[in-house]
Amino acid sequence: MINTITIAVDAMGGDNSPKKVIEGIGYHQKKSKDINYKIFGDENIILPLIDAYKIKKENIEVFHTNNKVENEDSALSAAKKGKDTSLWLSIESLKNNESDAIVSAGNTGALFVIAKLNLKMIQNIDKPALSGLWPNKHGMNVVLDLGANIECNEKNLIDFSLMGSALLKSLFVKETPKVALLNIGSEELKGNAIIKNTFQKLKSKKNNLYEFHGYVEGNEIMDGKVNVIVTDGFTGNIALKTAEGTANFITSELKNALTSTIIGKFSSFINKKNLRNFKNKLDPRLYNGAILLGLDKPVIKSHGSTDSLGFANSLDVTEKIIKGRLIDKIKENIIS
């Protein structure tokens, strides 16, 4: 059982940082115990924010640097900026075993590159995968890869199945991981050669960590019949952006329909609780926190445009995967 954990935080990455980052730490601090935060960034901005949000200082350390990775930096230019950016220093803290995980809302490409430069891959894992949480009718899905790898082979997809299942089990202890491959149909003959070969390999081998449930189509992702959905980064990223755009469209159109007429306003008033629950179900802030799986230490990517509540939720995900022994679960189940 892990008692006290330490989270390294890149305070300067993403929109409206470090304000949202520090406020997010304040939210997380109020509901979590025994968490230490190592905050990397400009102390001239960070320290006044810590005071403004009345954050307890006894479990806070601030490491000053003026240098940061900008949103528009390429991954290569970010790595070349030197080892004194807030992103590099926070990842280095993880590398040196001074922290248990790192969270950043900054440049995704830079996070991947700098993390891979500093951290080792888990043995027998060839490629990392970016995984995220999506709601379904009965709870939550883990979906991967969401963009780290454009092309994947059979072994990569099998590794993703294992890593995604370990993540689900770390976050939701009582859940049974049910793995499915995202495909254009449910029949065994559908899909390209890599998908079909992966299907046969997963079907033929048993794994104590998860159950294999074959294929899932895009319109079935939210049904809740499976909860670990595996695909390559190209397809996964398109699916993610489509889902986000659809959710935004639905909530926007519903809001317009309920505020444009007197009847609509009255309907929204009497259904206030139901509408709030509906909005929360589609609120991306509540599922914020993508995990770069495959590295031997936890690296968590918060959405760059999220607010303080969303950042607090990424810290919550981080806390759960550390306490849920995510990396150990992957190592225990990986097959060479």
pLDDT in tens, 274-333: 656 655 666 667 777 899 999 999 999 998 889 999 999 999 999 999 999 999 989 888
Same fold, 1-120+303-324 and 126-293: yes
Select from 165, 157, 149 the least CA-distant residue to 183.
157
Q: Evaluate if residue 31 carries a pLDDT over 80.
A: yes
**What are the angstrom distances between the C-alpha of 144 and each of 104, 108, 132, 148, 318?**
19, 15, 7, 9, 17
- Tokens for 130? 């970016």
Fold of the 126-293 domain? Isopropylmalate Dehydrogenase (3.40.718)
Q: Evaluate if residue 5 carries a pLDDT over 90.
A: yes
CA-CA-CA-CA dihedral for 250, 255, 256, 257, to nearest 10:
90
pLDDT in tens, 110-141: 999 999 999 999 999 999 999 998 888 888 89
Pick 80 or 248 by higher pLDDT: 80
pLDDT class of 81 with cuts at 50, 70, 90:
confident
CB atoms within 10 A of CB 17: 25
pLDDT in tens, 144-202: 999 888 899 999 999 999 999 999 999 998 899 999 999 998 887 788 899 999 999 99
Domain boundaries, the chain: 1-120+303-324, 126-293
Q: What is the pTM of this model?
A: 0.87
Match domain 1-120+303-324 to its CATH number in 3.40.50.12500, 3.40.718.10, 3.40.50.720, 3.40.50.300. 3.40.718.10
At what angle are helices 326-333 and 154-171 packed, to 10 degrees? 140
